[in-house]
Amino acid sequence: MFAEIVIPLALPKNYTWEIPAHLQEGLRIGCRVEVNLGKHKKYSGIVKAIHPDKPKGFETKEILNVLDHEPVIHAWQLRFWEWLADYYMATEGEVMAAALPAHFKLSSETILVFNEEFGDDFSTLDSEEYLVAEALLMKQELRLTEVQGILDSTHVYPIVNRLMGKKVCFVWESLKEKFAPRKETFVLLEPEYSNEDRLSELLNNWSRAPKQMELLLGYLHLLKTEGEVIKASLLKKANATDAQLKGLVEKGILRTEKRSVDRIQYLPKDIHIDFTLTPAQEEAFVQVETAFVEKPVCLLHGVTSSGKTLLYIRLIEQYIRKGRQVLYMLPEIALTAQIIRRLQKYFGGHIGIYHSRFSHNERVEIWNKVKSGELKVVLGARSSLFLPYQDLGLIICDEEHDPSYKQQDPAPRYHGRDAAIYLSGLTGAKVLLGSATPSLETYHNARSGKFGLAGLTERYGDVKLPTMQLVDLRAVPRKPGEKVMFSVHLLEELKQTVARKKQAILFQNRRGYAPFHLCTVCGWIAQCEHCDVSLTFHKFSNKLKCHYCGNIYPPVLTCRGCGSDKLVQKSFGTERIEEELEQHLPDAKIARMDFDAIRNKNAHDVLIQQFEQRKIDILVGTQMVVKGLDFDNVELVGVIDADGLLHFADFRVNERAFQLMEQVSGRAGRRDGVGDVLIQTNLPNHPLLQHVLRHDYVGMFLEELDKRRQFFYPPFSRVVLLHFKHKERDVVNDAAHHFTRLMQPAYGNYLVGPAEPMVPRVRNMYLMELMLKLPRDSQLLSRCKDDIQRYTAMLHHEGKFKKVIVVPDVDAV
């Protein structure tokens, strides 16, 4: 018998190994095996198929060991991997590398780390395990090749596997992105008083400080409304001090407990839903349910603050009660923090979070609990599509329009939403796509009947959508070539908002202080040495940064071209806005939320909480402030530079600009309907801004759809973008043209380019792009992919193009 095995490497196709007779029994698809590849390398791979056909053309080697009795993944997951690899032009090995926690991927290079928590009591280990554990205890770290030396056995991988199962050791991981879970102090009732009678007896015979009673009542109220009580919010709500709380703790009525906000397994597995849907929400709910009878996918198009999240919660409840599992997918990890708090309140310990910022071990833990069916709801980014669900009933894809759903690097360059839809075909799960500003593709699919469509046109609680105003910057006096940061109008409204104790959000799409350093004498601009892009000045760190490769440079004082010191900083980013704002509103509390400000992984969550607790008056930020956040006191939203959103040479530019502006404006007036949005622009007559002014999604959709039809862009065609990279400009240029000539005969009608992208050099690699707009015909698509592979091979055959990297991106966003 033979086995086709997937190994976490970018091999063009899977290899086949022979199954020795003594391993044949018990070897199942989805189990891991240890195999040799080449002379010295060993890997653990996953069995994809077992068959009796001896492969031709090469001598098969034997499988060395079987690592699992039970498959680690389901058969449908293998089919999912296969589709992802095929559709997105990756290898199954690359998909495997993305899909499995490191723990499951042993290779000769794997480093094992001793688990301190295990201690040194090795009495439960057998003699071989003991040898390795001893060595690990002494050296703390061992390479798998070293373990081989210690054991001198043919069963190294199975032994290591057992040791990991017993938590004696872990797979080493680089610490650079390590996620430190944020701790929060929770307040709990002492068990004695969970009894209603005891509690009322206590309250009726209160002989202690009245302030403490007030605090206790405040606590009980919060417990009822929020399910869990965080110390900070209790003290604030009850207007109480730490000492008063301490008093109640000392009297044995309350107690406090410090624990991580993200780790929730010790919460009881209860469901308690304490709200009812409004008639409009109820109707949308029924629309979703009805759609799911016939269709696997439904779009929930609901304006901002219409209560989409609450509708999701009702749906999740339904699936949990049926014993099924739900995946709640978000485009970015950063968004999980606020949502998890909301979900926890309703579903307690039924929920787990899964994303790349957790350690390998934590991920393995979630993996196992999902597989056993213990966890019913997973909140996560796109990688949670790879979990081994036991019975997946529903996938919620929130903010489905968000381009962050698409993986950029490395392969597989898959789209979380589209992959979810494919997965639903394999598992029978339903998919609910949610957004206030659906992607054109999705809305088109919903209108044409391919997806179901449910709608919420009103905000919750009779609250109006914010009023939108354009501020015409052409009227603002300024020096030639200068950009306006704040109009008088915007400043005035900011001042009033702060004076009324309301909050404001200012949106600017550029981070840093000044995006250009320009010599006024000769026109020289400070550029990155490795990329063809101007350097952004960051004032706080006093450095110039390249936003493409991350390189940092000291600030320049004199021009590299002419030596003059007449350098000026052009344009502005969030950092400069924050600084200027401090001058205009010296008493306001201003904070900034962008990639630089939240380097520390918890900073994002902390900022959001501070804003929620109204410790910040004005939040200045990039895209990060736009997304899905629910604040109750924001009255003013300012879009500093709308033109910056409209100036891209991309067919999606209008769609994106609309989505950003509508989403950021959606943060305003969510509770009382008093919300104002000011959009600063030099293009007040731009047609897109007219749609933005009226919150007119459908108007925007129809107009854009027309253009897409006319110019044959998605949803009418399918875009495959080919990136060419090489360290010499001429070579990459020639290669792209050569490749285009190869494609010309069969695909001439569908080609756009080749052309240099906006930034033609990144990390010392020169770039070229070739775009294919293919008719939506799956046979044509697969033929085209084969051809791309063939032409790539032909290109590499030409000596001078040997090192040109060709990266295909299917459905590029």
- Cβ nearer to Zn ion, comparing 469 with 551: 551
Does 307 bind ligand ATP (CB under 6 A)? Our answer is yes
Alpha carbon dihedral 153, 158, 160, 161, in 10-degree steps, equals 180
- Answer yes or no whether residue 315 interacts with ligand ATP by CB under 6 A: no
**Of all helices (H) and strands (E), which one includes residue 564?**
none
Which listed option, ligand ATP, Zn ion, none, makes contact with residue 436 (CB within 5 to 8 Å by class)? ligand ATP
**Tokens standing for 23?**
């391993």
- Rg (alpha carbons) of the chain, rounded to whole number: 29
The token pair at 369 is: 């609990």
- 530 makes contact, choosing from ligand ATP, Zn ion, none, with CB < 5 to 8 Å by partner type, with Zn ion
Residues 84, 310, 377, 567: which binds ligand ATP (CB under 6 A)? 310
CB of 630 to ligand ATP, least distance (A): 4
> What is the Cα–Cα distance from 33 to 161, expressed in whole angstroms?
11
Residue 676 CB, shortest distance to ligand ATP, in Å, is 17
Question: Rule CB under 5 A: is residue 549 a binding residue for Zn ion?
Answer: yes
> Between residue 651 and residue 670, which ones bind ligand ATP under the rule CB under 6 A?
666, 670
Contact 100, 44 (CB under 8 A): no
CA distance 153 to 522: 71
DSSP state of 672: T
- Select from Zn ion, ligand ATP, none the partner in contact with residue 277, using the beta carbon and a kind-dependent cut-off of 5 to 8 Å: ligand ATP
Q: Interaction with Zn ion in 476-535: which residues (CB under 5 A)?
A: 528, 530-531
Decide if residue 304 touches ligand ATP (CB under 6 A): yes
Beta bridge partners of 761: 766
Q: Which does 307 bind (CB under 5 to 8 A by kind): ligand ATP, Zn ion, none?
A: ligand ATP
CA pair distance 350, 378, nearest whole angstrom: 9
Among 436, 581, 719, 767, binds ligand ATP (CB under 6 A): 436
Nearer to ligand ATP, 248 or 330 (CB): 330
3-state secondary structure of 684: coil
Site for ligand ATP in 666-695 (CB under 6 A): 666, 670
In order of 365, 368, 597, the CA distances from 372 in angstroms are 11, 6, 39
Residue of 608, 597, 591, 631 lying closest to 182 (CA atoms):
608
Q: Which stretch binds ligand ATP (CB under 6 A): 105-113, 230-238, 250-258, 305-313?
A: 305-313
CB of 658 to ligand ATP, least distance (A): 14
> Does residue number 354 form part of the binding site for ligand ATP (CB under 6 A)?
no
Q: Which is nearer to ligand ATP, 338 or 497 (CB)?
A: 338
Helix H, strand E, coil C: the string for 46-60 is EEEEEECCCCCCCCC
- Tokens 């698509």 locate to 781
* 553 counts as binding Zn ion under rule CB under 5 A: no
From 134-142, 259-267, 306-314, 475-483, span contacting ligand ATP (CB under 6 A): 306-314
Site string for ligand ATP, 609-638 (x = CB under 6 A): -------------------x-x--------
Q: What is the nearest approach in angstroms of ligand ATP to the Cβ of residue 339?
A: 9
Residues 112-171 that bind ligand ATP (CB under 6 A): none
The reply to whether 761 sits near ligand ATP by the rule CB under 6 A is no
Instruction: Single out the residue of 169, 137, 166, 131 nearest to residue 150, CA to CA.
Output: 131
Compute the least distance from the CB of residue 553 to Zn ion, in Å. Answer: 9
Work out whether 305 is an interface residue with ligand ATP (CB under 6 A): yes
Name the amino acid, one letter, at 781.
L
Strands 325-329 and 377-380: what pairing? parallel
The binder of ligand ATP chosen from 281, 404, 427, 442 (CB under 6 A)? 281
CB of 513 to Zn ion, least distance (A): 17
Contact 521, 568 (CB under 8 A): no
Q: Is 711 in the site for ligand ATP (CB under 6 A)?
A: no
Q: Is 543 in the site for Zn ion (CB under 5 A)?
A: no
DSSP secondary structure code for residue 553 in this structure: E
The angle that helices 144-151 and 156-165 make with each other, rounded to 10 degrees, is 110
CB of 438 to ligand ATP, least distance (A): 11
| Between 223 and 759, CB nearer to Zn ion | 759
Stretch that binds ligand ATP, among 154-162, 273-281, 359-367, 704-712 (CB under 6 A): 273-281
Taking CB under 6 A as the rule, does residue 233 contact ligand ATP? no
Beta strands in 141-207 (DSSP E): 141-143, 169-171, 183-189
Rank residues 85 and 300 by Cβ distance to ligand ATP and give the closer one: 300
**What is d(CA 234, CA 215) in angstroms, rounded to the nearest whole number?**
8
Q: How far apart are CA 30 and CA 7, in angstroms?
A: 12
Helix (H, G, I), strand (E, B) or coil at 472: strand
**Mode of pairing for the β-strands spanning 229-230 and 430-435:** unpaired
Distance CA 344, CA 227 (A): 8
Q: How many residues bind Zn ion (CB under 5 A)?
A: 7
Counting contacts by CB under 6 A, is residue 331 touching ligand ATP?
no
Sign of CA dihedral 135, 137, 139, 144: positive
379 makes contact, choosing from Zn ion, ligand ATP, none, with CB < 5 to 8 Å by partner type, with: none
Instruction: Name the binding residues for Zn(2+).
Output: 519, 522, 528, 531, 546, 549, 559, 562
Rounded CA-CA distance 703/580 in Å is 38
Angle 585-589-593 from CA coordinates, rounded to 5°: 110
Residue 546 interacts with which of Zn ion, ligand ATP, none, CB < 5 to 8 Å by class: Zn ion
Is residue 106 involved in binding Zn ion (CB under 5 A)?
no
Helix spans in 725-774 (H): 729-747
Using rule CB under 5 A, residue 548 touches Zn ion: yes
Site track 452-481 with ligand ATP (rule: CB under 6 A), x = hit? --------x---------------------
Q: How far apart are CA 355 and CA 364, in angstroms?
A: 11
Look-up of token digits 């390998």: 360
- What is the nearest approach in angstroms of Zn ion to the Cβ of residue 653? 24
- In whole angstroms, how far apart are CA 272 and each of 219, 221, 228, 347? 18, 16, 12, 7
Q: Which residues would be at the binding site for Zn ion (CB under 5 A)?
A: 528, 530-531, 546, 548-549, 551
Q: Which residues would be at the binding site for ligand ATP (CB under 6 A)?
A: 275, 277-278, 281, 302, 304-310, 436, 460, 628, 630, 666, 670
